[in-house]
Amino acid sequence: MLRVAATRFNKPYHYAATFNGLSGRTDSLAAAVANTAVVRSAEAAVYPVFLNLSLYFQDVWQATERTAVTFGLRWDINPAPSARKGQPLLALATDGYALTRFEPLYRTSWRDIGPRLGLSYLMDDTAGREMTFRVGAALLHDPLSSSMIRAFSAAPFTSDRILTLANFPLTPLNLQPPELPASRPYGQVTAVAAGFKPPAVYQWNATLERMFGPRQALSFGYIGVAGQRLFEPRGWPTFRPTTTCCIASPTERCRGITAFRRNCAGA
């Protein structure tokens, strides 16, 4: 079992502005009009907790003098992250529309079992000239920690004021730090769509190895990887569930939400 309880430090206040080119447009730098300006307040420290539990079994069967078969199973349990102190994370409610502080970021998957199988065959047993062929395959499940950390850089731990086509420099009123804790409409929320499942990664490999004496070897190898149920952040313009994976960029920036979609991509 692995429990990670790091402390994430944020800048308490910052703002940024983007322009559409140096000149020639109404939202260019020369026109002194920002295409988008974001003023952000953030909690100085956030306290995420990630928990991962993995159970693993492996054995080796010596089928013949030259052939060995390795087989095993790995069971991964990755509950949604939480905050060990301070405000809880925002999550989508079971209806898929509302935000709530009383449900986990996503439901724990209890079926993330990954088999693995390997075979080793001694093709030539001449002393000092041994040649071995190995092949293996495995199914792995992503623990999600590196992706879900961004939930701690959004509401309720940050509060954004998002301005479009704003005169630059910003007025003192617009430069005022947004109030914390964040209130509706949220500047940015990281949420997970209903029915989300952890990504699955299939790996396979093959190696042919020839020994040249006791200390030298030449190996030729092949490695393959394929991902399923991969996800990527997408803007959610109207804050409602959708069955499609290609979601347009947000048009209501003050209500923007980033959602991790399920079964959207493969590689």
Q: Report pLDDT digits (tens) over 89-118.
A: 888 877 766 788 888 888 888 989 999 999
Q: Which two tokens stand for residue 9?
A: 């430090």
Quote the pLDDT of residue 267. 46
Give the pLDDT mean for 164-182: 89
Q: Are the CB atoms for 259 and 193 separated by under 8 Å?
A: yes
Specify if 267 maps to a domain. Answer: no
The more confidently predicted of residues 94 and 265 is 94
pLDDT at 229: 78
Q: Is 15 inside a domain boundary? A: yes
Please give the pLDDT value at position 232: 60
259 pLDDT above the threshold of 70: no
- State residue 235's pLDDT score: 52
pLDDT at 11 over 50: yes
Residue 16 belongs to a domain: yes
How high is the mean pLDDT of the chain?
81
Which residue did the predictor score with more confidence, 195 or 60? 60
Q: In terms of C-beta density within 10 A (0-12 exposed, 13-18 middle, 19 or more buried), how is residue 210 classed?
A: middle
Residue 103 in any domain: the answer is yes
Residue 217 lies in a domain: yes
Task: Please state the rounded mean pLDDT for residues 204-221.
Answer: 94
Looking at this protein, which amino acid is placed at residue 218? L
pLDDT at 256 over 60: no
Show the beta-strand stretches assigned E in the chain.
Answer: 2-4, 8-9, 13-18, 33-42, 45-46, 48-62, 67-77, 82-83, 91-92, 99-100, 113-124, 131-141, 158-167, 189-192, 200-211, 217-228, 233-235, 257-260
CB 47 within 8 Å of CB 40: no
Cβ of 126: how many Cβ atoms within 10 Å?
8
For 107, the enclosing helix (H) or strand (E) is: none
- Examine residue 78 and state whether it is found in any structural domain, yes or no: yes
Q: Which of 126-130, 213-217, 250-254 is the least confident region?
A: 250-254
Q: 183 pLDDT exceeds 60? A: yes
Is it the case that residue 42 has pLDDT exceeding 60?
A: yes
Distance between CA 69 and CA 100 in Å, rounded?
Answer: 49
pLDDT of 150 higher than 90: no
**Section 74-88 average pLDDT:** 88
d(Cα 218, Cα 235) in Å, to the nearest integer?
50
0.75 surpassed by pTM: no
Q: How many domains does the chain have?
A: 1
Does residue 265 belong to any structural domain of this protein?
no
Count of residues making up the chain? 267
Residue predicted with more confidence, 126 or 144? 126
Residue 231's pLDDT is what? 67
Whether residue 40 is contained in a domain is answered as yes
Which residue range(s) make up the domain with 121?
2-260
- For residue 146, pLDDT beyond 50: yes
Residue 233 pLDDT level (bands cut at 50, 70, 90): low
**pLDDT, mean of residues 70-94:** 88
Q: How far is CA 221 from the centre of its chain?
A: 29
